[in-house]
Structure formats: C-alpha cells, structure tokens
Structure 1
Amino acid sequence: MRIAYFSPLPPKHTGIATYSRHLAQALSAHAQIEFFDPQPGETGALDYAARPELLLSLHWYDALLYHFGNNPRHHLDMYRAFLLRPGVVVLHDIILYYLMAGLGRGGLLQEFLFNYGPLRLGEFFELERDCQNGDVLRYRQPQRYPLVKRILTVASGIIVHSETSARLVRSQGARCPVQVVPLLAYPPMLEPGAPTTRAQCRSELGIEPDELIIGCFGYNGPTKRLPIVFEAVARLRERLPCRVLVVGEADALNRDIAASGIADRVIRAGFVDDERFGALLRSIDILANLRFPSMGETSATLIQALACGIPSLVSNDAWFAELPDEAVRKIGVGPNEAAEVAAALLELGLDPARRAVIAEAGRAYVAEHCAPAAVARRYAEILAETARLEQIRRRRLGLEGLAQALPPAVPLGQASPTGALTQAAKSQADGPRSGLADERGAPLADDR
C-alpha cells in the first residue's frame, strides 16, 4: 500500500509534527509512505505549495492521509490540497475555527455560511465585533464555531483519538466512517531513562536533587491553564517548596508570572528539540497538563509522561475524563480549580509512594492502549479498508480512469503557490461537477 502522508514535520514548532514522525516510522512496517509538507527543509517531503502540480499525481496512491490541527500556519495549505483531493483525515483538534480564520475574512465567511447557513449570518458580524481590531484570528471563543462541516462532508474517513471527539464529530454530521485510534507512545519514552541523564538535566537547570519540580510542556496557550498552576504554587509557598518548569512557547508568559508573584520559582526552557524535550520531561516530578475549555484535542505530551512514569494532573473534562482514575490525578473545572490543583500538588508532593502508584498505573495504561506497533496496525487497517471501498465505489460509478481524465487541478503559471491552490479549489467548486470531491459536495476557499 502506498500512502500520501500530509502533515507538518519536524523541526516545525507543533506537536503534530513530532507525532507524525513517530507514527510514520511505525506505519512504514505496513506501507510505503511519501511525505507532503510545504517548506519541508531537509525532511525530503514534497513541497506541494511551491509545486502544486504534485497534486496531480495523487491518484497513484492507495490512500491519502491528512493530519489536521487548528493552526493555519501549519495546516492552511494542507486544507486547500485536501479540498482538491480528499482522503482520510486525522482530526487532532475538533474545533478548527482558527484554521478557517486563516483563510481571511472572505474565506471564513464562506466556511461560516457552509456550516451554519444564511439565517445565522448575524452571528458572523457579532463574531467580527468581538475580535480585537476586527482580526478574525484573535477571536476569543473559538469553541462556539467548530467549522468542521466541510471536512466531515468531503473526507473519506475520519480518525480521532478519543470517544469524546468521536461523539462530537458524529454530532456535527460526519458522512463517513469515524474511527477512534489512541495516541501512540513515542518509542524513546518507553525505554527506561538513565538516572544520570535525569541528574545531569536537573543540574544544568540549577535544580537540587531533592527539589520538587512541576512541569508544564507544549504550546502553553490560554486553554492550558498556566495561570491556575502558578496560583496554586503561590498558595503553597510556605507549605511545599517547589518550582515550575515551563517548556515550550507560551502566550503572555511574562505577564502571568508577574501576576502570580512566583517569578523566583519559574524555570523557562522555551521551545526545544525532541531529544531535549524528552530529557526535560524525565527531569520533572509531576506534570501539570490541564486543559479547558477543550477543543476536542488529546495530549501527546501526557501520553509520553505516562509512558515514562511521570504522575500527572489533568482536567476532568473531555478526553482527559476518559482516562482511568488511577492513572492520573483529575482536577475539576470551575471556580475552585486553583484550590484543587494546590491540594493535589500538596498530596503528591509530600507522598512519593502515592506518586509511584499513579506512575505505575499510567505506564500500564500506555502499554495496553498506546503501543506504537498496535496503533500503526490500526491505521493500516483503516486506510486499507478505505482504499478497498473507494475502489468499489469507483467501479460502481464507472469512474475507472477518471483521475487521468480530470482537467488539470492547478492552473499553470500562477504567481503565488498558495494562490494557485486556492484558485484550483474554486475551479473545482464552481466548474463542472466531475470528480470524487465534487460528488461529496464541492468546497470553496478564499485566501483574501
């Protein structure tokens, strides 16, 4: 089986890139994989944004796999390509408002109307008024408008990582099979960590051997509840000597640290490569992995923490609520959140034996559900079945050889690669209704 694999790849600053690298390594035991990624650097991926004619070759692949997140910087070109040549979609986020906002006001308006119809147009103008300086990328309530209907209408299959996400996707009107496949644990995190590496890493950060370290990892946006963690640590200043290690980029981090009054207890590592990320993760004692409100996402960082035996705090909401109670320490969302976090940190911080019990349960959960070989095998089964059904559908419709007969998907001579993809999507939508994408409902795009 040949797979055209669309995803951001390392060293791009997104967890989906790291996830895709490990998934593809495991999936290569079942299929031949070709990567498609704009501005691929040294990854060897095919840059379809710079060379949109590459999309003409997609009919030669048995399966097309698209990994979608909510960041237009990494997924907007992929979305445009998907509209031209749909396939199986992995939804890492169920709320795709920001991705669609990356299309610009005109594109976002089209997506809004497609999702909600003209009778709700007034809400769009209210949305605009709620955006700082009218910038639709700065809307603060994206969960109100998931904007996933186009993908659910066009995709040949949907893969999500939790039952919560599957229910949300089905409630949004998915027309294709929706499958749940757990996140996979990264192989390096399944191996025992060397005590000397942990000690060296802590020493480099100025951490004493017996000092309690709470870790916050990944892109720490507003939903990651970082101010709540800071407030909880501030409450424990006299009762639990500890510090917070923040790894990754963060919105308004300086402001949040200053407001909490614990600047002396925060260690900042910024964005790091995968090897350093793993070393830092092993150096902490407790992971704070809060998430609210949920965008339908899961957390690869949490899976890696559980894999290497780091007891973790999670919000008792969405996918995190599905995890076994014994494998994580769940925190309620609401007005008492900071107090609950403080109580949990005090409980675990003063009781190493309790931390060890949770750590062992976390390892057991990952071993049962997130082994790379088992996850890759499930992906391969889904893609093979989707390819089989697609072949049957084509034969029934008499569409064998259709790919060769299709008009060029991308007009040649376009000045802008992304503009070429956009124009091709419009042509596919506005022109004669031929081709597999049109049969499911031709999409529109707008990069103004």
Structure 2
Amino acid sequence: MRVAWFSPFPPVHSGIAAYSLDVLEGVRHHHRVDLFADDPVWHAAGGRLHAGQGETIAPLDGPLGLPLYRAFDFTVLHDRTPYDLIVYQLGNAACHRFLWPYLLRWPGLIVLHDAALHHARAQALLGDRRADAYRAEFRFNHPGVDPRVADFVVAGLEGSPYYLWPMLRLVMRRARAVVVHGAPLQEALADEFPDTPLTTVSMGVPDPWEDPSAASAGHAERPMTAESETRTYPPTSVAADPRRDAVVAAFGVITPEKRILPLLRAVAALRSEAPHVRVRLVGEIGEHYALWQDVAATGTRDLIEVTGYVDDEQLAAELRAADVCVCLRWPTARETSASWLRCLAAGKPTVVPDQLSTVDVPTLDPRHWQLKHDRTDAVAVFQPPDPSRAVAVSIELADEEAMLRQALRRLVADADLRRQLGRRAREWWAGRHTLARMHRDYEAALAWAVTQPVPEWPADAPAHLRPDPSAWARSLTAAFGVEVDILGSREPGTGNR
C-alpha cells in the first residue's frame, strides 16, 4: 500500500512526534510510506524553500530513512499518483496546525490522539485574525450551543472552558475513518458520531529496561516474545536503601492540567512524616504555566527538581530511577497518556485519575485500599473485587488532594505494595501496550481504513472551508469585462478540472 503520513516529527518536542516514529518502525516494513511535515521539520532536516526545480520534487532522507516532503508538495504528488491512504496523526497542539487544510480537503485515516481539538483550532484561526471563520466553525461543530459562546473565546477567555466544546464534528464528518486508543472512547464517540467509521489500536511504548543498542535494530524485526515481555527488572531502590530520597516523578510538558499544584501541596503536607520524599518533574515547563509561583506558595522549593526536556535515552533513565509516578490530568481531552504507559512499562507504581481513559483499568482507592468495582453485572455481588489485581492507584477529582496525600503516604512507606503494583503494571503493559502489539493493530487498521468510502462534503459546512481559488483573479478581470474560462473552479474532493 502507498501511504502518505502527516505528522509532527522530531526535532519537534511532541509526544506524538515520538509516537509516530514508533508506529512507523513497524509500518515501513509492509508499506511504501512518504512523510509530510511542516516547514520547521523540513528546514531542520536541511530542506530549502523549494523541494526541486521544474517538475522535479525531491524528498529529503527523513526519519527511519523514509522520504520526507514538505506538506505543500503533497498536492502535486497526490495529483500525479494518488496515494492509497492518507494518515493524519492529529492532536490538540500547535504543531498539528499544518494538518488541517489537508485532512479537510483529502479525507483519510485520522488517528485522534485528543478527543478535544478546540485549543489548537481556535489558536490557529484567531492567531491569523480570522475571528469570523472561528465563529463559523464553532457554530458548525456545536449546533446546539448558543453561538455567542464563541465571542467569549474571541474576547480572550481561553483555557479550561475549551474542554466544554471539543470542536470535533467537522473532523469526524470529513474523516474516511478514525482511530482512537481505547474502547471506552470509541464507544463514546460512536454514540455521538454514528456515521463515522471508528476503530481502536493499542498505544504502544518502548521498554525502558531494553538495551538502547538493541532498540536501534528496529522493533518490527524483533518480535516481542513471552520471555521478553515477562523479563525481570530491578525493584524500586527505596526498598533496598530506606535512607535515600524517595523520588515521586511526573513526566511530560509541565502544565497546570498535570495537577502539579495538588502534588506539591500533598508533598508539603507529608514533609514531617516523610522528609525523604522529593518531586522530580521530567519535561519542559509549559509557556503559560507559572510553576515557580506554585512552588513558592507551597514552600516546596527544596523538594522539587525540574529536568527540562530530555531525549529518549534520558527519559528511560528517569523512568528507571523513579519510585512512584504521578500521572494526573484535569481537565482532560480524553487522551491516552503515553507517559503513564511508559511508567507501566518501567514497572512503577502509578497514581492516575479516575476518568474515562482509565475506567477499564483495575485500580485501588487510597481511602480504603480496595479495588474499585470494575464490573457492574450481578456476578460482581458474589465475587467482590480482588485488590491483588490492581494495576495502579486512582483518585477522584472531587477529593483530589486528600486522596493524593493518602496515596503517596502509603506508597512511599510500603515497599511491598510498590513492588506488587510495579509487577502488575509491567504485566499490564506487556499484555496491551508493547510496540509489537501496536504494530499488529496498525496493520489491521490500515487494511480496514483503505476499504472505507470517501465521505461527501457536508452541505452545511462553513463557506470559508471551500473557497473559490479563482475568485480574486475574477474580481480583477471583471472590471475589464473579461471572462477567464481557464480559471474554472475545481471541486474539492473530485478529480474534475
């Protein structure tokens, strides 16, 4: 199959950029894949403004040795020799902005990493001073909502309210097919968008205990075996030496949504009974987050370290060194957290939010340390939940700070519980979230997506999304009474000229 692959790529500091390479490690062995990137990636790879001369469009040597093109070159390449399938790795961040014109014009398989896209789409449109276009898209995406809501965003009331209106309808209506990373989200979206073909693929993450030199040999050529999935790994080191600091780590871009302030408050409250606890934030500080103000307010400057951005090798080392991992997020775009899955792969006890993305994961409630009911049928009455099945500890937003304190208090002190949770975390990753499992799922998803029909353009879609490219030229020639027949419009989604 000949596949066009739109995604952010390194050196963009994006989890999806790294994820995309992990997927391509398997896909590239079975399909001919061309990569399409935004200009910053193209220029970082040594590309110039024009890819070639005359009719020649020359790719660069991209990640994994795959051909890398500027996104602008796709139009010509696809027109000459249409791709069998176009894959769009779509998330709710500015680095995905360049995908939108293509995914709306040329429907393909959309891998939906975030089930809320309002932040990125609003920032793109309003950043270009296209407030009317933003209002029109808001009305289309949320026809039952008072359209004046859009005026609040135009006026600058951003942030958490974005999550109330995910701006998904346009993407779902134009997708040839959509992939998500969990059955609960698939079911929720299927109820809302019954006409959109939906499926799931497992999100796989690398093994942080794997030898980096072996990893470079290529995941697809090293099938995951039962022995490699269950290999032993070092226990958390606090158990071996109770005098050393206990490292409570959080991973990824540091933002208020990662619940850093509640974490700092919890650690500050435990200072007297657990003075050896330290917080290590592994990632960059988000540009809109005043982290050090929260640190000052909680008096935790001596308890916290921030690493800044780390590469894959450093990230694996940080995962191995952590004792407890806090993987919280609120508000949420209903995403599957790759950083949490990496913590599971490392065999670490984790603290997660009790929400849609973890509803199918057996977790402990730190208020009584019993397994939360993960069954609703009558049999569950006679077969109470077994705490020994727990993979993580989960906390509820309504009682967040108290539950987080209780979780950390016991996890830091109880080495046996850390080992048990770490072992089951590792087993959960090995059974569901390895790279080999993800590669198998993607093969099935690509084969399924290419059989799906291309959807019709929504009749009620905003007019600015289907502009007449010859309108400006026609307006110039109209004053002279000249009709320019060669500028006949070309209908989006067709091959008519």
Task: Report the AA paired with residue 28 of structure 2.
Answer: S
Matched ranges for 1:216-235 at <5 A? 216-235=250-269
C-alpha distance after superposition, 1:26-69 (max 9, x if no partner)? 22233222211113223626343454644635853222111111
Say if 1:9 and 1:17, in contact at 8 Å, map to a contact too.
Answer: yes
Listed one character per residue, the Cα deviations across residues 47-93 of structure 1 (whole Å, up to 9, x for unaligned) are 4345464463585322211111101x211111111112110001110
Hey, what does 2:413 align to over in structure 1?
A: 350
Deviation at 1:346, TM superposition (A): 1.0
Per the alignment, residue 279 of structure 2 pairs with 244
> What is the deviation of 1:124?
1.7
* Number of aligned positions between the proteins: 392
* Amino-acid identity (%): 28
What does residue 57 of structure 2 align with?
none
CA deviation map 1:228-277 (0-9, x unaligned) = 10000000001112100011123221111111110000011011112111
The secondary structure found in structure 1 opposite 2:244 is coil
Query: The residue matched to 2:450 in structure 1 has which SS?
Result: helix
Cα offsets for 1:357-384 (capped at 9, x unmatched):
0011111111111122221121111211
Which of residues 176, 181, 206 is equivalent to 1:156? 176
Amino acid across the alignment from 2:250: C
Alpha carbons 1:100, 1:107 under 8 Å: kept? no
The structure richer in helix per residue is: 1
The question of whether the paired residues in 2 share the 8 Å contact of 1:321 and 1:330 is answered with no
Matched, 1:333 2:354: no
Greater gyration radius: 2
Q: How does 1:25-424 map to 2 (within 5 A)?
A: 25-38=25-38, 39-40=40-41, 41-42=44-45, 44=62, 46-49=68-71, 51=73, 53-54=75-76, 56-57=78-79, 60-71=82-93, 73-101=94-122, 102-104=124-126, 105-117=131-143, 120-129=146-155, 131-132=156-157, 138-173=158-193, 175-189=195-209, 210-240=244-274, 241-250=276-285, 251-325=289-363, 326-334=390-398, 336-390=399-453
Counterpart contact for 1:27–1:379, Cα < 8 Å: yes
- Structure 1 unaligned regions, length at least 5: 133-137, 398-408, 415-429, 439-448
Partner of 2:493: 435
Q: 1:57 to 1:211 in 2, by over 3 A?
A: farther
| Distance in 1 of aligned mates of 2:232 and 2:306 | 22
What secondary structure is seen at the aligned counterpart in 1 of 2:68? coil
Residue type matched to 1:93 in 2? D
User: What's the CA shift for 1:188?
Assistant: 4.5
Aligned-pair CA distance for 1:178: 0.9
For 2:351, the aligned partner's letter is L
Q: CA offsets, 1:80-137, max 9 Å, x none?
A: 11112110001110010012111222332121021123972222223434x25xxxxx
> C-alpha distance in 1, partners of 2:361/2:209?
19
Structure 1 Cα separation of the partners of residues 13 and 262 of structure 2: 24
Distance 1:187 1:62, change over 3 A: farther
Structure 1 residues 30, 410: closer, same or farther in 2, change over 3 A? Answer: farther
Is the 8 Å Cα contact of residues 91 and 159 (structure 1) preserved in structure 2?
yes
| 8 Å Cα contact 1:67-1:89 kept in structure 2 | yes
* Contact 2:344–2:425 (Cα < 8 Å) also in 1: yes
Q: Could you say which residue in structure 2 is the equivalent of 1:427? A: none
Question: In the TM superposition, what is the alpha-carbon distance from 1:216 to its structure 2 partner?
Answer: 1.0
C-alpha distance in 1 between matches for 2:410 and 2:423: 17
- Please give the secondary structure, in 1, of the residue aligned with 2:306: strand
CA distance in 1, matches of 2:452, 2:186: 21
Return closer, same or farther for 1:25/1:258 CA change in 2, 3 Å cut-off: same
Cα distance in 1, alignment partners of residues 232 and 35 from structure 2: 31
Residues 1:310 and 1:175: Cα distance change in structure 2 (over 3 Å): same
Q: 1:262 to 1:116 in 2, by over 3 A?
A: same
Secondary structure at 1:12 match in 2: coil
CA RMSD, Structure 1 to Structure 2 (Å): 3.2
1:23 equivalent in structure 2:
23
Give TM-score, length-normalised by structure 1: 0.80
Letter in 2 for 1:37: A
Contact 1:190 / 1:307 at 8 angstroms: preserved in 2?
no
Amino acid at match of 1:123: V
Q: Flag the structure with more relative contact order, 1 or 2, with Cα contacts below 8 A and sequence separation at least 6.
A: 1
User: 1:386, CA displacement in angstroms?
Assistant: 2.1
Distance change in 2, residues 1:167/1:388 (3 Å): closer
Q: Which runs of 5+ in 2 are unaligned?
A: 46-60, 212-230, 364-389, 457-466, 473-487
3-state secondary structure, aligned to 1:342:
helix
